[in-house]
Chain A
């Protein structure tokens, strides 16, 4: 019998309480916020200001970025051009395609050094780029004020990102651990012509061209014209940027699991 089990309506309390109870609640709230409301007078008070946090007792005594809400804050990037190895991983990982690698002064004259330039009109502050950065030179800071008057000013050149770095803002310390069974770059030796392109373009200089024993030609047999050198990759230095694979003219380098 579904009809029999109709819930009894809650008896309305006395109508004087309808007035008195909310008024008491409001008075309590008023007393609580009389000294200091929860709001922050933003341009004049900032949560990242340690003195202000000491005064209002929000995470006082702690630098931002340690055990605090700011721990993984993702604001404007900071770039340390000096440690950037131009590996292009940030631009690869960017889901919004907002990172361009542009030439920066420094680096050897034959190979121009390239560093990321970020278009904040497109950036979604996902932080993939700083996760991907193998050298930790591209990080997210706690800077969140980015109002400009022209769209062109939204594009931050590497030098501008370096300025953000020079301000020594608190940075996002969270780093993504690299997986233990990461794919490595493998070589298919018969295809290699020993051209040195991979070793030349490797951003970390982890590729060394090593001599290999020369194949003795039997009489009357043609042997491929080779310089008899092969790339050997130092796995611990390799950042898995894939530059060598993309520059290899014979497509003899590939991703795979090292056995």
Chain B
């Protein structure tokens, strides 16, 4: 699997442009088949493929959550549209798509429409950075982890923009709660990532995954993983940290004023971010697309095996999220912030110390030794 998705789509665009150019007159043909045009179309195709794949996965994720939650609540979840309700979310999406987009009279038009759009776009962009197989997506970026986390942390800004421009006090309060929560939990997340970076010695997600060839990081860096998963739950605003939305108590929190397709943007983006969080957890702690050496090589060498195992792991992580959602009650705001600042940050600092100890010791009794790649 040396070809990345970007190179595949560039090749596709080259074939397309040469095919179209061959039936056109000479100056147009030359203009179409030069390198810049091929690159531009290749990036476009890359984006379209990524968008379609991530959207499909997001919708499948929502279906999976509905089915799982149903079983946790002793019912079935969506059943009627498509096989076992597979098409139910498409039906819901079409329903929202057909609805009128209503803007409150006093809302700020710019922020009201730009907020959700930017929220969705900045969340989708990260899919172009995360590798889901060897050299997949845009190749080996040296600082991909840093870039992904940076874009991931734009969200509170856009949530706050859309909440504020709704010109509704409930939206504004919801947006403030959301921003406070996200900022409080971004610090422990970053510190937990620091632990991973110390052990792997790199910011490149590709290299982090290859560093986990002897053992996945969830074992030695268990504390960091716990902090990271809890922080991700808060970042994704899922139960037990879903205070900004609190569907049982509030009227949708900061997206009170949004209806129709704008509301669908928010709901979709929430799940896009959940998918991103699952991807990050798999990449950082669960070995990415690699499998342990005791797995038969036939299971890991079929075409697209990396993507298969990666998605399997991501969905397994999401299953744990749904399990948590089905089990735990919602925390209060003060509990949330106290846990965030008073517990999570010290724990993540401890995990950094543990990671430094791991680097010094080189070898861990049960798991084995660190490879000498990045460090």
| Interface residues in chain A, defined as those with a beta carbon under 8 Å from any beta carbon in chain B | 19, 22-23, 25-27, 29-30, 32-34, 37-39, 41
A23's partner among B70, B73, B79, B323 (CB-CB below 8 A) is: B323
When A22-B327, A23-B328 are in contact, do A39 and B71 touch as well, CB less than 8 Å?
no
Cβ < 8 Å to A, chain B residues 318-351: 323-324, 326-329
How far apart sit A30 and B67, CA to CA, in the bound complex (Å)?
11
Complexed CA–CA distance, A27 and B322 (Å)? 11
Contact partner of B72 (CB less than 8 A), chosen from A19, A29, A39, is A29
User: Is B75 an interface residue when CB atoms closer than 8 A count as contact?
Assistant: yes
B134 shortest CB reach to chain A, Å: 35
B residues within 8 A CB of A30? Answer: 68, 71-72, 323, 326
For residue A39, which residues in chain B have a CB less than 8 angstroms away from its CB? 74-76
Q: When each residue 75-100 of chain B gets 1 if its CB lies under 8 Å from chain A and 0 otherwise, what string results?
A: 11001000000000000000000000
Q: Which residues of the partner chain A approach B72 to less than 8 Å between Cβ atoms?
A: 26, 29-30, 33
- 6 shortest A-B CB distances, which residue pairs? A26-B327, A22-B327, A23-B327, A33-B74, A39-B75, A26-B326
Contact of B323 among A26, A32, A33, A34 (CB under 8 A): A26
Restricting to B32-89, which residues have a CB under 8 Å from any CB of A?
Answer: 68, 70-76, 79
Closest to A23 in B: B327
Asked if A37 and B75 sit within 8 Å, CB to CB, the answer is yes
Q: Let me know if B71 and A33 touch, CB within 8 A.
A: yes
List 27 A-B pairs, Cβ < 8 Å.
A19-B328, A22-B327, A22-B328, A23-B324, A23-B327, A23-B328, A25-B327, A26-B72, A26-B323, A26-B327, A27-B323, A29-B72, A30-B68, A30-B72, A32-B74, A33-B71, A33-B74, A33-B75, A34-B71, A37-B70, A37-B71, A38-B74, A38-B75, A39-B74, A39-B75, A39-B76, A41-B79
A87 CB, min distance to chain B CBs, angstroms: 48
B68: chain A residues within 8 A (beta carbon): 30
List residues of B whose CB falls within 8 A of some A CB.
Answer: 68, 70-76, 79, 323-324, 326-329
Nearest Cβ distance between residue B91 and chain A, in whole angstroms? 18
Q: Please give the distance in Å from A25's CB to the nearest CB on chain B.
A: 7
> How far is B74's CA from A217's CA once the two chains are assembled, in angstroms?
89
Of chain B, the residue at the smallest CB distance from A39 is: B75
Contacts beyond the supplied A26-B327, A27-B323: 15 A-B pairs with Cβ under 8 Å: A22-B328, A22-B329, A23-B323, A26-B72, A26-B323, A30-B68, A30-B323, A30-B326, A32-B74, A33-B71, A33-B72, A37-B71, A37-B74, A37-B75, A38-B74
- Please give, as numbers and ranges, the residues of chain B lying within 8 Å of A19 by CB-CB distance: 327-328
Kindly list chain A residues whose C-beta atoms are within 8 Å of the C-beta of B71.
30, 33-34, 37
List of A residues within 8 angstroms of B326 by Cβ? 26, 30
**Which residues in A have their C-beta under 8 angstroms from that of B75?**
33, 37-39
Q: A25 to B327, alpha carbons, bound, how many Å?
A: 8
Point out the residues of chain B lying under 8 angstroms from A38, CB to CB: 74-75
Q: Kindly state the separation between the CA atoms of A23 and B70 in the bound complex, as whole angstroms.
A: 16
Chain B residues positioned under 8 Å from A29 (CB to CB): 72-74
The distance from the CB of B230 to the nearest CB of chain A, in whole angstroms, is 10
Closest to B343 in A: A15
Which chain B positions have C-beta within 8 A of A33? 71-72, 74-75
Complex Cα distance A32/B324, Å? 17
* Bound-state Cα–Cα, A29 to B327, Å: 10
Q: Which residues of B contact A25 (CB under 8 A)?
A: 327
CA distance A65 to B98 in the complex (A): 48
- Shortest Cβ distance from residue A194 to the other chain B in the assembled complex, whole angstroms: 71
